[in-house]
Amino acid sequence: MEPFRFHLFVCTQQKPEGVPSCAASGSFAVLGALDREIQAHSVNNRGLNNNVQLTTCGCMGLCDEGPVMVVYPAGVWYRRVQPSDVSEIVSTHLRDGKPVDRLIWNDAAAMKAMAVEHGEKYREAMAAREKAGVLPDRLDQMIRGYMPSRCLLTALELDIFTAVGDGANAEQIGKKIHANARAAGMLLNALVSLGLLSKSGDNYQNTPESARFFVQGSKDNHRNGLLHTANIWHRWSTLTDAVRSGTRVPTSRDDNPEWTRNFIAGMQRHAKDRAPLLVKAIGTAGIRRILDLGGGSGAYSIAFAKASPNVRCEILDIPEVVPLTNEYVSQAGVSAQVSLRAGDMLQDDFGSGYDLIMLNAICHMFSEEQNRDIFRRAHQALAPNGRLVVQDFILNEDKTAPQHAALFSLNMHVSTEEGASYSEPEYNDWMKAAGLTEVCRINLPGPSSLIVGLVK
Ligand SMILES: C[S@@+](CC[C@H](N)C(=O)[O-])C[C@H]1O[C@@H](n2cnc3c(N)ncnc32)[C@H](O)[C@@H]1O
Ligand code: FES
């Protein structure tokens, strides 16, 4: 059975640096070009009409001839495919049914011999490494994973992508960012190796991606929010001491005056995308008054206010944050529906009569006892049929998965006194102990989920 007229397999296998592979010969660029070209032919009704399935695959044993791809059902093998070949493959082979002769590899005996030899060499190499006790690549990559991350974070801290602008050499960039030209040159070269810049002669250029996401003035610039991750990196470097001591330990960087602004920008980066998902999951029926505890950038209140003119939201956040919240709320044009209160959710009275109380990305900052107390007071502040909604990275019962939630627990350990990621049974237990009923979990697309409880 063939559900598609053609099924393409493109090898995107990556191998250690220096070892030939389709990824190293540019198969991801080929894959992207194929995807765009096939889409264009399907959407514009130029003959493919969703009759082609494009799939990535692992090594086929012909790595010296990469990028390699196979077109089924006929089993046509192409080698050394380049993005510039893609338009011809799509129009000639996939649309008109005539394979592109100049790219076909049809020497079956040679292909089989190469794949068999490759398989034997691979097994021999693995056996030799195993015998010699070589550290597996997966562990080696995990150990050194901080290097690319640190390069990019430093580039963001120094605002290198903005300094590169429309193109500049290391000396010019070093001057703009007040850095040593030789060291800046090494960082710039490393960024080229990571695919974040390109280089021609002495001149560095932003890639389209870097220009879009990391340059000041670009509509999609994420730099301000990402600087929060750069700040958190310094806290992560205290992990060893924080595990020994049982709580966060101070660093010399803790007094960064930009910390709060970057933090709220970092929160907003995620919240503005997730807020419409939460509004859709909860709905606005029967909701007139919302309390948004630790609302931060106000993204969730803003989304509810925009979804219904009848909704009034109150955001409670700490005094340092409320002026920043005000900036986001004013900019969104919903100040008439969203009011702000400076305070401390651990101490202050919540008020009463709310239809919805939100705890978005809040519970992980606090201890179990503090959360139990917040849930209890939220229950008292809700009107009949009111709901308490928690959004967080929720762990499984034994707290080992999902991975992002397990890692995030440490993020909170290095950043707060008693914070952590919590499990679904823990949230259920706190909800029920506070008097909430019909407790349920709603999974949103993406890493965080909701736990919702009702006041009967
Ligand atoms: C992780 S952020 C989440 C922000 C927002 N809910 C979101 O999801 O984007 C935590 C928020 O809680 C606020 N916060 C922390 N401790 C607080 C407290 N004791 N009382 C009120 N707000 C607090 C922080 O200032 C911050 O805005
Ligand atoms: S890496 Fe693609 S065939 Fe080996």
User: Angle, to 10 degrees, between the axis of helix 223-236 and the axis of helix 146-157?
Assistant: 130
Closest ligand 2 atom to 59 CA: 4
Q: What percent of the chain has pLDDT over 90?
A: 94
371 confidence band (pLDDT: 50, 70, 90): very high
| Distance of CA 102 from the midpoint of ligand 2 (Å) | 20
45 confidence band (pLDDT: 50, 70, 90): low
Q: What is the mean pLDDT of residues 42-53?
A: 78
Least confident of 2-11, 47-56, 130-139, 300-309: 47-56
Q: What is the mean pLDDT of residues 36-63?
A: 88
56 confidence band (pLDDT: 50, 70, 90): very high
Bridge partners of residue 280, in order along the sequence? none
| Distance of CA 365 from the midpoint of ligand 1 (Å) | 8
Q: Rg of the chain's alpha carbons, rounded to an integer?
A: 27
Q: What is the mean pLDDT of residues 257-264?
A: 93
Which protein residues are within 6 Å of ligand 2, measured from CB? 11, 13, 21-22, 59-63, 66, 68
Sheet containing 289-293, strands listed edge to edge, beginning at the edge strand earlier in sequence? 338-342, 312-317, 289-293, 354-360, 382-392, 449-454, 437-443
pLDDT over 80 (residue 267): yes
257 confidence band (pLDDT: 50, 70, 90): confident
Residues 6 or more apart whose Cβ sits within 8 Å of residue 305: 311, 313, 332, 334, 337, 338
CA–CA separation, 322 vs 311, rounded Å? Answer: 20
Q: Which of 317, 326, 411 has the most ligand 1 atoms within 8 A of CB, as the residue to mutate?
A: 317
Please name the amino acid found at residue 240. Answer: T
Task: Note the pTM of the prediction, 2 decimals.
Answer: 0.88
Predicted local confidence at residue 252, as pLDDT: 85
pLDDT over 90 (residue 50): no
Predicted local confidence at residue 256, as pLDDT: 85
